[in-house]
Amino acid sequence: VQRIPVPLAGAPYEVWVGAGALEQLPEMLARACPAARYAVIADSAVADLYGDRVRTLAGAVAPATLFTFPAGEANKTRERWRDVTDAMLTSNIGRDGAVVALGGGVTGDLAGFVAATYHRGIPYVQVPTTVLAMVDASVGGKTAVDTRHGKNLVGAFHQPRAVVADVGLLATLPDNHARAGLAEAVKHGAVADRAHFARIERSGAALLRHDVEALTEVIADSVRIKAGVVADDEKEHGRRAILNFGHTVAHALERVAGYALLHGEAVAIGMHVEARLGERLGITEPGTAAALERALIKLGLPVTQSDHAPEALVSAMIHDKKSRDGTVRFAFLKRLGQAAAGDDGSWTVAAPQDAVLRALEP
Ligand SMILES: NC(=O)c1ccc[n+]([C@@H]2O[C@H](COP(=O)([O-])OP(=O)(O)OC[C@H]3O[C@@H](n4cnc5c(N)ncnc54)[C@H](O)[C@@H]3O)[C@@H](O)[C@H]2O)c1
Ligand SMILES: [Zn+2]
């Protein structure tokens, strides 16, 4: 099991990655997140698979109770936040309690937001169970729920005390979710580390077979990259925005498609579109979109969509509550392995609408 530091100035923590890492949960809780009670929060599907095991492991340190909510992005809402916090209040979890977020990115974001707000904030640890949550969502302290106005619009920065990523738990993950999670790993390579990008492309076949060694290597490297970016700019005042590469288009697609698309699938399409757009605007080195396309296709990920009109997607971008004064901003690549700085230190660039429309054409 590798222990990867996330060197945040205020509250550094570690991400433990490897097959069998879960067995070390009691040691990790006792050391990094001691509490009088543990609230293990999981969606119903993950609770069925791993809920008892994690409750027992946490229960070796302090009394642990399992709280569940229905699986799926459609449940990353304030209503489920209310249900879970009400259930925790009913079972008298106090300010000396802590949360164990057991599941994918939906659970991590929802349970993290519960921890950020319960009794004005209690500690928590992340136990990610999807590729996406292991490579990306469990690290960095962004917690949120969705609203009808868009994704992640109500939330908080709340860093976990530790993260335990047991790659063995991925054995039960459906293939489409494993592939989708790899899109975020490709993103880490694309924005910050060309060698990581090349490694993912090379081990594509092994990754799709759920090969534990290949997955462990990719997850550990992605966590190192994300940890470095987050440690430099925890609250996203600047460079952390590079992690939003592909996401302006992805969030619009998810919104227009009513979340029928997996987040990672939307990110794959978004990266390809945004690389094409960056090339047209002279920001991204020519050939970048083609290289991304090759790698993503090898991983069984989509790179284009024809279900939604470019106009509808642009309109979703403009109405995204995070877009500034009607302009649509993108985190572009300079080249594979390097993000483009932007001109105002924001690491994002506003793109003209007609260019965006053209890049969105299938
Ligand atoms: N906070 C962040 O920094 C950050 C970063 C990236 C993505 N996200 C968020 O993450 C979410 C997507 O996360 P996700 O793709 O993990 O989705 P998810 O949490 O919905 O998990 C996907 C599905 O797999 C099931 N599942 C989870 N682990 C399993 C396992 N080991 N075996 C079998 N089934 C399992 C779940 O029940 C669910 O149905 C989005 O809401 C996205 O916005 C957050
Ligand atoms: Zn993402």
Measured CA to CA, the distance from residue 275 to residue 343 in angstroms comes to 18
Over pLDDT 90: what percentage of the chain? Answer: 92
Question: How many contiguous H segments (helices) and E segments (strands) does the chain have?
Answer: 15, 13
Instruction: Render the burial of 268-302: b for 16+ CB within 10 Å, e for the rest.
Output: bbbbbbbbbbbbbbebbbeebbebbbebbeebbbb
Q: Under DSSP, is residue 91 helix (H, G, I), strand (E, B) or coil?
A: coil
**Cβ atoms of 328 and 188 closer than 8 Å:** no
Closest CA to 226 of 71, 39, 6, 1: 6
Query: Whose atoms come closest to the Cα of 246: which ligand?
Result: 2
Tokens 């697609």, located at residue: 253
How confident is the model over 299-314, as pLDDT tens digits? 999 999 999 999 999 9
DSSP at 285:
P
Active-site residue identified among 14, 184, 234, 279: 184
Question: What distances in angstroms separate CA 240 from CA 222, 227, 234, one per listed residue?
Answer: 14, 10, 7
Q: Can 322 be counted among the known catalytic residues? A: no
How confident is the model over 240-272, as pLDDT tens digits? 999 999 999 999 999 899 878 999 999 999 999
Query: Nearest residue CA, atom 22 of ligand 1?
Result: 104
Task: Please give the torsion angle defined by the CA atoms of residues 254, 257, 259 and 263, in that order, rounded to the nearest 10 degrees.
Answer: -40
How confident is the model over 192-220, as pLDDT tens digits? 999 999 999 999 999 999 999 999 999 99
Q: Can 251 be counted among the known catalytic residues? A: yes
| Residue type at position 195 | A
Kindly give the pairing relationship between strand 328-330 and strand 142-147: unpaired
Does the global pTM surpass 0.85? Answer: yes
R_g of the chain, CA atoms, integer Å: 20
Residues whose beta carbon lies within 6 Å of some atom of ligand 1? 43, 45-46, 49, 71-73, 76, 103-107, 109, 129-130, 132-133, 136-137, 140, 142, 151-152, 169-170, 172-173, 177, 180, 263
Active-site residue identified among 224, 247, 255, 329: 247
Given a cut of 80, whether residue 324 has pLDDT beyond it is: no
CB count within 10 Å of CB 137 equals: 26
